[in-house]
Amino acid sequence: MEKMPFRDAEGVMDVNAVINAARATTTETNWRQALPVLTGSMVTLRELRLSDAPSLLAMLATEEVARFISPPPTTVEGFERFIAWTHRERAAGNYVCFGVVPHGMDTAIGIFQVRQLEPGFGTAEWGFAIGSAFWGSGAFIDGAKMVVDFAFDTIGTHRLEARAAVANGRGNGALRKVGALQEGVLRKSFLRNGEYLDQTLWTILDEDWRRAKSVWGPRVH
């Protein structure tokens, strides 16, 4: 998901009030009340906190990370508004966003997102952005398995889509590594820096994931 919803959170808001309201919302399922903490072999995935804003700014606002995603916030306050927006959208049942926290650290160095493309998440889109210092470390694969598992087993997704610019070799390689299948090229479908880029469409179906899990072994808790 290269079209990160950073701009959706740009409006002025009381970030603490938004987060407190999201926590207080009575909803049908536990993930709408609060995201679970998912623990892998290298990283923990958890709901974003306002204290993650400085580290997300440092990790995601660099040119090498931001070149293939929607422009991220350029200030700590901008990331705080984004974090509050993720809580509000999660409480509404539209979207989830996990912070990626390597073992031994306290703050997030990246994010994994899942948003519904149809009501009920039958078809959903996922995406990720991780600080370049952690590229090639195994953090992506560790986190991606847990996020995709969460989408299929907890949210109830049937078809999970991802889009990556054709020129984004690292992003396409990461999606292939996690078991996604390339379905086609979406011509000039992503506007970045005034230029429309072609994107590759990748998909994972729930039955694909079941087969992959039988190879990888049981889910990591």
pLDDT confidence of residue 216: 58
Judged against a pLDDT cut of 90, whether residue 155 lies above it is answered with yes
pLDDT confidence of residue 210: 87
Q: Please name each of the domains of the chain with its CATH number.
A: 7-158 (3.40.630.30)
- Please name the residue that has the structure tokens 């990246």: 110
pLDDT tens per residue across span 21-43? 666 544 445 899 999 999 999 99
**Residue 54 burial (CB count, 10 A):** 13
Which of the residue ranges 84-88, 130-134, 209-213 would you say has the lowest mean pLDDT? 209-213
**Phi, psi (deg, nearest 5) at residue 22:** -65, -40
pLDDT tens per residue across span 43-96? 999 999 999 999 999 999 999 999 888 889 999 999 999 999 999 999 999 999
Enter the tokens of residue 134. Answer: 């952690």
- Cα separation, 152 vs 144, in Å, equals 12
What integer best gives the mean pLDDT of the chain?
Answer: 89
Q: In this prediction, what percent of the chain has a pLDDT beyond 70? A: 86
DSSP class of residue 155 equals I
Instruction: Report yes or no: 192 and 179 within 8 Å, Cβ to Cβ.
Output: no
**Residue 20 burial (CB count, 10 A):** 12
pLDDT confidence of residue 142: 97
Which of the residue ranges 14-18, 58-62, 119-123 would you say has the lowest mean pLDDT? 14-18
Q: How does residue 127 score in pLDDT terms, banded at 50, 70 and 90?
A: very high
**Residue 12 burial (CB count, 10 A):** 6
Beta-sheet strand order (sheet of 110-116): 38-39, 43-47, 95-102, 110-116, 123-130, 159-165, 195-205, 181-192
Judged against a pLDDT cut of 80, whether residue 9 lies above it is answered with no
Average pLDDT in the 14-18 region? 72
Enter the tokens of residue 210. Answer: 């079941």
Judged against a pLDDT cut of 80, whether residue 214 lies above it is answered with no
Helices 169-177 & 139-150, crossing angle to 10 degrees?
60
Instruction: Report yes or no: 164 and 68 within 8 Å, Cβ to Cβ.
Output: yes
Q: Which amino acid is at 60?
A: L
Instruction: Report yes or no: 63 and 7 within 8 Å, Cβ to Cβ.
Output: no
Q: What contacts 88, CB < 8 A, 6 or more positions away?
A: 18, 21, 22
pLDDT confidence of residue 211: 81
Q: How does residue 1 score in pLDDT terms, banded at 50, 70 and 90?
A: low
**Residue 86's closest CA among 31, 146, 151?**
31
pLDDT confidence of residue 199: 96
